[in-house]
Structure 1
Amino acid sequence: MGQRVNEYGQPVGEPMPQWQPAQAPGDQPMTGQYCRLERVDVERHADDLYDAYRAAPDGSDWTYLSVGPFETAGAYRDFLTACAASPDPLHYAVIDLATGKAIGTLSLMRIDKPNGVIEVGFVVFSRRLQKTRMATEAIFLLMQRVFDERGYRRFEWKCDSLNAPSRAAAARFGFTFEGIFRQAVTYKGRNRDTAWFSIVDSEWPALRAGFAEWLDAANFDAQGTQRRTLQTCIAAQRT
């Protein structure tokens, strides 16, 4: 298909006559096979979350975040109180359906309804949540909310360019790397060059099917080991 041009012969983007602004993410819980996402609530979640984070052997999980680690339960409770009151970022607790306990948080942020753009961020997964099916499902539940339920066109992931685990997670989840914004942020007294990743709505159907295939119980053996990787499942759907 050739480049679209306007009446002056200038190249322009594709028209969007049916576009309607996206909807707010909302407060409704999101429930999957292994976990549930619900708006953070200090009384329901603070103690469980602090207990889960405190189980880590050190504070390295907080290195690339603008806050933490928290030395006392009271300090963490104060932080979560601010999270619960924030409309953007909109923070969710990740609840383990097997135990009913909150074991991590993540948020939808930089919510741009007119342009249909939204970001997943402030991902704080405890060691009880990291590298589990629940961790992957939590991201998938947000994707479903963003694309299927609220009509967004673009879902972003950003992180410190030096944060190798976060960059690897973005690639695993099917985000496309877009580049580095140099000297984009300062936090904890240091510079951050920010790595940008995204998923757009045309890519979502293949990703949705790939996530569903990976999360299916049949994809795991009796010991809980995956039979096919998430990347393999997504790649098969894209093909």
Structure 2
Amino acid sequence: MERVSNEHSKVERVLQNSQPVGAPLPDWAPRRLPDAERLQGRWCTLERLDADRHADELSAAYAASEDSDWTYLPVGPFESADSYRSWVQAQAQTGDPRHYAVIDAASGRAVGTLSLMRHDPANGVIEVGWVVFSRAMQRTPISTEAHFLLMGYVFDELGYRRYEWKCDSLNAPSRRAAERLGFEFEGTFRQSTVYKGRSRDTSWFSIIDREWPQRRRAFEAWLAPENFDDDGKQRTALRGR
């Protein structure tokens, strides 16, 4: 195997049989599946979704939502608290996606959910999805920290290599959120999904392990208490990359 440096690429090119191949990973071993029940932060805590503990609080939090909050989700809006509870009961039993409720540290109440999904421990790849944040947590430190807690768990504790974000290519708020959080846009898969009776082109984003240390520092600086004034407003915007 021959190594050839390439000044135009961040990754060293490796030749095998005079053909370029990916960098060797001699110490690689499959990672374990996500199993955390609770991830503690300053602004919020992530708890494994449980219908008895979280469904009523989440339903109440989503009561302030508009129908537009559900446009790009495969489900919702729900007709009643009971229909939402039934959905939570089913989802809480799944291993993939593995859903987490976001608990506001100030109120102690569940105000949103997100999940780890499409688990691929053999290759060290996992996706964040099912992000359903109520109006009570949108544009707050809670929403940023919730993502940070999940990313840190995936990279620092589980040792995964790649963390994915996918969304409808027409979902401009989701695309902006991915970019703010430090994800790199990779392209669009055309006509990749059918949901709610319509076609979806899917935009792909990712963060990989060698990028994570810089992303982590950016999150830590943004989430630091000194970055917020007495009214809880940020002094400096998050620069995820």
Q: Shorter-chain TM-score: which interval?
A: over 0.9
* Residues 1:124 and 2:128 are matched in the alignment: no
Residue 33 of structure 1 is matched in structure 2 by: 42
* Residues 1:114 and 2:146 are matched in the alignment: no
Residue 5 of structure 1 is matched in structure 2 by: 15
**Aligned partner of 1:9: which letter?**
S
Deviation string 1:110-162 (CA, Å, 9 cap, x unpaired) is 00000000000000000001111000000000001100000100000000000
SS at match of 1:205: helix
Say which of 67, 71, 77 aligns to 1:63: 71
Q: CA deviation at 1:71?
A: 1.2
Unaligned residue ranges in structure 2 (runs of 5+): 7-12
Residue 186 of structure 2 is matched in structure 1 by: 178
Deviation string 1:39-62 (CA, Å, 9 cap, x unpaired) is 110000000000000122x21110
* Residues 1:144 and 2:152 are matched in the alignment: yes
RMSD, aligned CA: 0.8
Give, in whole Å, the separation in 1 of the partners of 2:64 and 2:178.
25
Give, in whole Å, the separation in 2 of the partners of 1:168 and 1:34.
22
Q: CA deviation at 1:225?
A: 1.6
Q: CA deviation at 1:212?
A: 0.3
Percent identical among aligned pairs is: 59
Q: CA deviation at 1:222?
A: 1.2
Give, in whole Å, the separation in 2 of the partners of 1:73 and 1:226.
34
* Residues 1:169 and 2:169 are matched in the alignment: no
SS at match of 1:44: helix
SS at match of 1:86: coil
SS at match of 1:230: coil
Residue 9 of structure 2 is matched in structure 1 by: none
Structure 1 or 2: more strand by fraction: 2
Residue 46 of structure 1 is matched in structure 2 by: 55
SS at match of 1:11: strand
Give, in whole Å, the separation in 2 of the partners of 1:216 and 1:28.
25
Q: CA deviation at 1:28?
A: 2.5
Say which of 21, 31, 37 aligns to 2:30: 21
Deviation string 1:182-230 (CA, Å, 9 cap, x unpaired) is 0000000000000000000000000001100000010011122211110
**Aligned partner of 1:39: which letter?**
R
**Aligned partner of 1:107: which letter?**
S
TM-score (norm 1): 0.95
Q: CA deviation at 1:25?
A: 1.1
Say which of 191, 202, 207 aligns to 1:194: 202
Deviation string 1:1-20 (CA, Å, 9 cap, x unpaired) is 243111x2111111001111
**Aligned partner of 2:155: which letter?**
F
Structure 1 or 2: more helix by fraction: 1
SS at match of 2:99: strand
Residue pairs, 1:93-108, within 5 angstroms: 93-108=101-116
**Aligned partner of 1:112: which letter?**
D
